[in-house]
């Protein structure tokens, strides 16, 4: 990736666009007591804001509105059945012309059926979209000329104007189960990557890339969640509102240098495209490749030990030279396994009301959060306290044999384990789509297994 290509990912802030969207959402709340109550419940019961869940709006149209949207950075989707505008450079919901006099607000959920089970609204009204289809939706709340609908998407974003055909349900269930229960523990990590690639290719042959990607990461979140208490507590809070993890922002994987290109190769098989690179600085000694699957709405932070000299190369594809030392990321992988395999994700980051989520988790679940590593007007980020995992004796002995840890450090890992995973609390403003390239250095050093205090 050239330096010119990298400048494409110099993400901007759009305060006027944010104000426009917030004003539109507020109108829905003002015109419906049910929508207003729903927004309040999200805030107080999940620590999230209604805007964090909005998929798109359908509003009364005019030429003046179309011109305003263009001024705000939106672009038309040319083959839409009705005028549809999306914002390619920021994280804002799409805006579409309403099909009637009623304006509609669409809110993302993992499952429309799960939402209806919780809220028990108009149970005689059927869900639009067959069981197993890529898009399903249904009205949830109504008011004076407005409606709130819930929508689930599986590899078919709002810009996808022709949803794929509903797959064979037996094949869909079989591939979902195979990906969710894939074997992760192999004597050689390369065999684990090959096994996952085989499962993914089989699913793609039956379901396509985008639906396979959606299924794969549903399974990844399940695996990570069952290994992280903070995640289970927050998921229960969001499930109590029927929402699931539909507010996810990005998924973070840690990788050894040896297997980093295999990791990226698997994700490219799933339809991911390279975005910006990160380098946390010489002291931290790690970097990351951000990748995105726009159809499945999945973003990944892929972390790896990295030197300043290697940042300029295409380290997503060019093999690293062998090293005799480990950085924070490499040590984590030696202690727990590859994030893609035995360890599972290092963290999932979701969009929240930053202060509300941290306060509620502390009060209701005794979940502590670490000092924020980003506290800017447009971006706030903090990890929950690390989940401590036991470390296998074979891994400790391997590190000792290679001279990578001391006997004292080995005893510490035997007695206390090592930090495994986190939930990350994030709040975005003004549509900012990027990440903080400075403050993250300190937090990675804080989570270094050799420096942890248990």
Check residue 151 and report its DSSP letter.
E
Tell me which CATH code domain 172-447 carries: 3.10.180.10
Task: Classify 279 as helix, strand or coil.
Answer: strand
Q: What's the pLDDT score for residue 3?
A: 45
Q: What's the pLDDT score for residue 281?
A: 76
H or E stretch at 442: helix 440-446
H or E stretch at 286: strand 286-293
Please, which pLDDT band fits residue 11 given cuts at 50, 70 and 90?
A: very high
Please, which pLDDT band fits residue 282 given cuts at 50, 70 and 90?
A: confident
Question: What b/e string do you get for 161-199 counting C-beta neighbours within 10 Å, with b at 16 or more?
Answer: eeebeebeeeebeebbebbeebebebeebeebbeebeeb
Cα 380 from Cα 428, distance rounded (Å): 7
Q: What's the pLDDT score for residue 104?
A: 98
What value does the mean pLDDT take over residues 203-213? 98
Strand partners, 58: 96, 104
Q: What's the pLDDT score for residue 452?
A: 59
pLDDT at residue 180 greater than cutoff 60: yes
Cα 8 from Cα 174, distance rounded (Å): 39
Cα 136 from Cα 142, distance rounded (Å): 18
* pLDDT > 70 fraction of the chain, expressed in percent and rounded: 94
Angle CA(447)–CA(450)–CA(454) in degrees, nearest 5? 70
Q: Residue 50 in contact with residue 36, Cβ under 8 Å?
A: no
Strand partners, 128: 137
Cα 201 from Cα 209, distance rounded (Å): 9
DSSP for 184-206? Answer: ---SSHHHHHHHHHHHHHHHHHH
Question: What are the residue boundaries of the structural domains of the chain, listed by start?
Answer: 15-153, 172-447
Taking residue 104's Cβ as centre, other Cβ atoms within 10 Å add up to 20
Q: What's the pLDDT score for residue 6?
A: 46
Q: What is the pTM of this model?
A: 0.93
Cα 434 from Cα 99, distance rounded (Å): 34
pLDDT tens digits, residue range 316-364?
A: 999 999 888 999 999 999 999 999 999 999 999 999 999 999 999 999 9
What value does the mean pLDDT take over residues 162-175? 95
What value does the mean pLDDT take over residues 303-317? 91
DSSP for 291-347? Answer: EEETTTTEEEEEEEE--GGGTTS-TTTSPPPP-SS--HHHHHHHHH--TTTTS--SE
Q: Residue 231 in contact with residue 217, Cβ under 8 Å?
A: no
Check residue 170 and report its DSSP letter.
H
Judge if 15-153 and 172-447 fold alike in CATH terms. yes
pLDDT at residue 443 greater than cutoff 60: no
Task: Classify 106 as helix, strand or coil.
Answer: strand
What value does the mean pLDDT take over residues 231-257? 98
Q: What's the pLDDT score for residue 450?
A: 64
The architecture CATH gives domain 15-153: Roll (3.10)
What value does the mean pLDDT take over residues 25-45? 98
Residues whose CB falls within 8 Å of the CB of residue 341, separated by 6 or more in sequence, listed in order: 184, 185, 186, 189, 192, 193
């Amino acid at each position: 990736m050239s330096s010119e290509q990298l400048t494409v990912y110099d993400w901007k802030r759009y305060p006027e666009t944010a104000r426009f969207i917030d004003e539109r959402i507020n109108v829905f709340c003002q015109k419906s007591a049910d929508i207003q109550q729903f927004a309040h419940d999200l805030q107080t019961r999940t620590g999230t804001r209604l805007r964090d869940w909005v998929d798109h709006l359908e509003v009364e149209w005019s030429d003046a509105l179309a011109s305003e949207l263009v001024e705000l950075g939106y672009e038309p989707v040319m083959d839409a059945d009705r005028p549809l505008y999306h914002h390619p450079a920021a994280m804002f919901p799409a805006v579409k012309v309403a099909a009637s006099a009623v304006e509609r607000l669409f809110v993302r959920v993992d499952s429309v059926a799960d939402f209806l089970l919780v809220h028990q609204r108009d149970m005689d009204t059927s869900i639009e979209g067959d069981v197993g289809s890529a898009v399903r939706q249904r009205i949830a709340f109504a008011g004076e000329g407005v409606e709130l609908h819930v929508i689930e998407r599986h590899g078919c974003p709002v810009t996808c104007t022709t949803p794929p055909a509903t797959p064979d349900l037996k094949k869909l269930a079989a591939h979902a189960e195979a990906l969710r229960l894939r074997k992760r523990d192999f004597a050689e990590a390369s065999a684990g990557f090959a096994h996952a690639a085989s499962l993914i290719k089989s699913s793609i042959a039956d379901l396509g890339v985008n639906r396979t990607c959606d299924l794969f990461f549903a399974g990844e979140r399940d695996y990570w969640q069952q290994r992280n208490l903070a995640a289970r507590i927050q998921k229960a809070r969001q499930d109590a509102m029927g929402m699931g993890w539909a507010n996810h922002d990005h998924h973070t994987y840690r990788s050894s240098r040896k297997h980093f290109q295999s990791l990226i190769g698997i994700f490219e098989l799933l339809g991911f495209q390279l975005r910006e690179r990160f380098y946390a600085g010489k002291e931290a000694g790690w970097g990351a490749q951000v990748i995105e699957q726009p159809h499945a709405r999945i973003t990944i932070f892929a972390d790896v030990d990295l030197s300043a000299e290697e940042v300029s190369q295409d380290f997503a594809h060019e093999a690293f030279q062998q090293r005799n030392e480990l950085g924070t990321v490499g040590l984590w992988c030696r202690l727990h396994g590859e994030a893609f395999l035995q360890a599972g994700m290092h963290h999932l980051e979701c969009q929240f009301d930053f202060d509300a989520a941290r306060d509620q988790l502390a009060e209701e679940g005794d979940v502590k959060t670490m000092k924020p590593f980003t506290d800017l007007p447009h971006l706030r980020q903090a990890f929950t306290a690390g989940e401590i995992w036991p470390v296998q004796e074979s891994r400790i002995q391997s590190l000792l044999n290679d001279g990578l840890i001391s006997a004292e450090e080995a005893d510490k890992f035997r007695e206390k384990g090592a930090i495994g995973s986190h939930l990350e609390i994030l709040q975005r403003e003004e549509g900012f789509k990027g990440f903080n390239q400075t403050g993250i250095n300190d937090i990675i050093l804080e989570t270094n297994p050799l420096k942890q205090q248990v």
